[in-house]
């Protein structure tokens, strides 16, 4: 029997069969409603998810925000906990969640969770790993995911109380440098489209200086310099991605300008 009776956990996934099992094993006794929304896996993601007791629903990919909103709408409980398929909760976090939800009549609110990146060949987060603290647990009455195709965040009602757990989620986001570049290239496509939809325009100077500034941000600001050669390579990938999204945005603008000239 699950420890928490009023919590749904949802995960969006595609071709995560090699990682999602570890994610599900860490949470399988927390909830009686663990939902995996699959967007068309060609590997064994669905089989692995079902083997770990998850409920699996297919939904064609509409973008990050909309996919998570679809998952929210299909959860059975009012308290929601979102994890990605490459994230694993620690025992410390698990115990904190159990304690928090053991309180009588927990009022609707939100909880942010530290998410620490784990590089390939690391078994857990490095002492100086980069950590984000997004809202990941929340009552559906106080917020839901933003519908943006690229921005992965929960929009909360003004005045919502946000508490922070200390236990971490371990984020095994990178299988390899090559796979990371493929994923970042897809992110860059989505970011360029999002800029276009929002009517954003950036100067040529931003394009020229984006790579070095982004590298400095990752290598020093995110402390990748403390993590050896792979930290340097990962910072380079991040900087290239930040440059590439602007380059693709400029490419779209040039294409539109060329079409306008040809039509005249």
Domain ranges of the chain: 7-171, 177-263
Rounded to whole angstroms, the Cα distance separating 74 from 35 reads: 8
Q: Is the pLDDT of residue 206 over 70?
A: yes
Of the pLDDT bands very low, low, confident and very high (cuts 50, 70, 90), residue 35 is very high
Note whether 142 and 156 are within 8 A (CB): yes
Distances in Å between the alpha carbon of 203 and those of 24, 188, 256?
45, 18, 17
CB count within 10 Å of CB 129 equals 23
Domain 7-171 -> CATH class = alpha beta
* Phi and psi at residue 64, to the nearest 5°: -60, -55
Specify which residues 80 forms β-bridges with.
8, 138
Q: So what's the pLDDT on residue 1?
A: 52
pLDDT digits (tens, 9 = 90+) for 145-163: 999 888 789 999 999 999 9
pLDDT digits (tens, 9 = 90+) for 52-91: 999 999 999 998 999 999 999 999 999 999 999 999 999 9
pTM reported for the whole predicted model: 0.89
Farthest CA pair distance, the chain: 69
pLDDT mean across residues, the chain? 92
């Amino acid at each position: 029997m699950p420890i928490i009776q009023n919590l749904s956990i949802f995960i969006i996934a595609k071709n995560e069969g090699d990682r999602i099992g570890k994610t599900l094993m860490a949470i399988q006794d927390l909830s009686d409603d663990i939902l995996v929304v699959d967007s068309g896996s060609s590997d064994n993601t669905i089989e692995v998810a079902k083997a770990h007791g998850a409920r699996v629903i297919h939904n064609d990919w509409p973008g990050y925000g909309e996919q998570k909103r679809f998952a929210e709408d299909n959860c059975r409980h009012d308290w929601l906990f979102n994890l990605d398929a490459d994230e694993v909760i620690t025992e410390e976090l698990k115990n904190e969640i159990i304690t928090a939800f053991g309180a009588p009549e927990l009022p609707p609110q939100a909880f942010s969770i530290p998410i620490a990146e784990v590089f390939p060949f690391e078994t857990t987060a490095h002492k100086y790993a980069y950590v984000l603290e997004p809202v990941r647990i929340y009552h559906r009455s106080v917020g839901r995911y933003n519908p943006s195709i690229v921005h992965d965040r929960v929009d909360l009602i003004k005045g919502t109380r946000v508490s922070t757990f200390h236990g971490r989620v371990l984020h095994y986001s990178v299988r390899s440098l090559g796979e990371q570049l493929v994923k970042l290239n897809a992110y860059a496509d989505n970011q360029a489209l999002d800029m276009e939809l929002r009517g954003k325009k950036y100067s040529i100077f931003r394009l020229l200086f984006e790579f070095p500034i982004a590298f400095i941000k990752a290598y020093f600001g995110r402390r990748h310099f403390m993590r050896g050669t792979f930290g340097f390579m990962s910072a380079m990938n991040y900087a290239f991605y930040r440059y590439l999204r602007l380059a693709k945005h400029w490419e779209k603008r040039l294409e539109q300008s060329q079409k306008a000239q040809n039509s005249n």
